[in-house]
Chains A and B, each alone.
Chain A
Amino acid sequence: MRYENDRPIYLQVIEDISRRLIQGELALGEKLPSVREMAVQYQINPNTASRVYKEMESRGLCYTKRGMGTFITEDSGMIKTLQSEMAENCLDTFLQGMQAIGIDLDEMIQLLRERYAKEEL
């Protein structure tokens, strides 16, 4: 996984895990790897890895069962929440980019429809 330079790594890892959950790669309630294993998997520092879980837990994305490990939340509503959050981010980027080149809302919608119809992504 490639990391961007200007944002903390732990946030980028959380995004990746969220994406995998949304796409179905990870199931609700699935057991997550240990901090150590996750550090190796993502090739990051173990402290960063434990920060990932801490932050995810505070957002309700996962929970820890003592002696058993860390698990993805079972709350299916969480997927919706994540989707909206990530959609917001994409929209922000999209809108910022479009406004920077002077395209107004109506044009944006039209271009969006045309592009979507092409389906070559």
Chain B
Amino acid sequence: MLDCVNVVKRYGGMFAVNGMSVAIEDAHIYGLLGPNGSGKSTWMKMAAGLIVPDEGEMTLDGVKISAETKKHIAYMPTEGYFYSYMKIKDVGRYYQDFFDDFDAQQFEKLIADMDLEMNMKVRNLSSGMMAKLKIAVTLSRKAELYLLDEPLNGIDLLARDEVVNTILTNMSDNASVVISSHLVEELERIIDKAIFMKDGQIVLMGDVEEIRQERGDSVTDLYRQIYG
């Protein structure tokens, strides 16, 4: 689905992504793992068309990352990014205006499930509420590929299950999800492929169940081994 060949992104003298190649397939949930600065966010933003790579190529179903691919990729950044003048309903309206795959009813339902209200102002949201709003609006899109950058950040322990459930229940059939996170343990159960990044490159990639079967390690254990 998403093919990435030898992608490089430099900032000044520093490589954020340094020759990364990966093929993201249909109907899998990928965990993009690694410490801060390993290049996870930069890679996601390149797939989302928000950063242009210096070298290499990224395509979605053979189409170069462009306005066309943005229609099928739902990206959720780490930070809050909505216009501060907006209310929650305005955010929904915005997504509805620009994305054909946005399901307004699902958005309403998710907002209600998460104890948010349509009339709340974005600038008054706590970080926990903001995190929930981001998830709600992103998962209300029936996209082919979801790129979630640290979706559990800022969400308290109890609400994390809610978010994980939301991801599992609302992603469209056959869609793939790439979740980047520090919170490996929380995500371990829902990812089926793990991609470990370090210094802008992939150091290991594998099927989660195979890793457990062959190595007797969980992804969390493996994470400690790679980065510890």
> Which residues of A come within 8 Å of B, CB atoms?
3, 5-10, 36, 39-40, 42-48, 51
* B154 CB, min distance to chain A CBs, angstroms: 20
Q: Is B37 an interface residue (CB 8 A)?
A: no
Q: Are B192 and A48 in contact (CB under 8 A)?
A: yes
List CB contacts (< 8 Å) of B186-216 with chain A: 188-192, 208-209, 212-213, 216
Give the bracket for the number of chain B residues in contact with chain A. 20 to 34
Known A-B contacts A5-B218, A6-B218, A9-B189; the reply to A51 vs B164 at CB < 8 A is no
Chain A facing B: main interface SS = helix
> Which residues of B come within 8 Å of A, CB atoms?
27-29, 161, 164-165, 168-169, 188-192, 208-209, 212-213, 216-218, 220-221
Nearest B-chain residue to A3, judged by Cβ = B189
The residue from B28, B168, B169, B212 contacting A9, defined by CB atoms under 8 A apart: B212
* B216 CB, min distance to chain A CBs, angstroms: 4
* A53 CB, min distance to chain B CBs, angstroms: 14
Q: Are A5 and B192 in contact (CB under 8 A)?
A: no
Nearest A-chain residue to B210, judged by Cβ = A8
Q: Are A43 and B165 in contact (CB under 8 A)?
A: yes
Q: Are B168 and A47 in contact (CB under 8 A)?
A: no
* B142 CB, min distance to chain A CBs, angstroms: 15
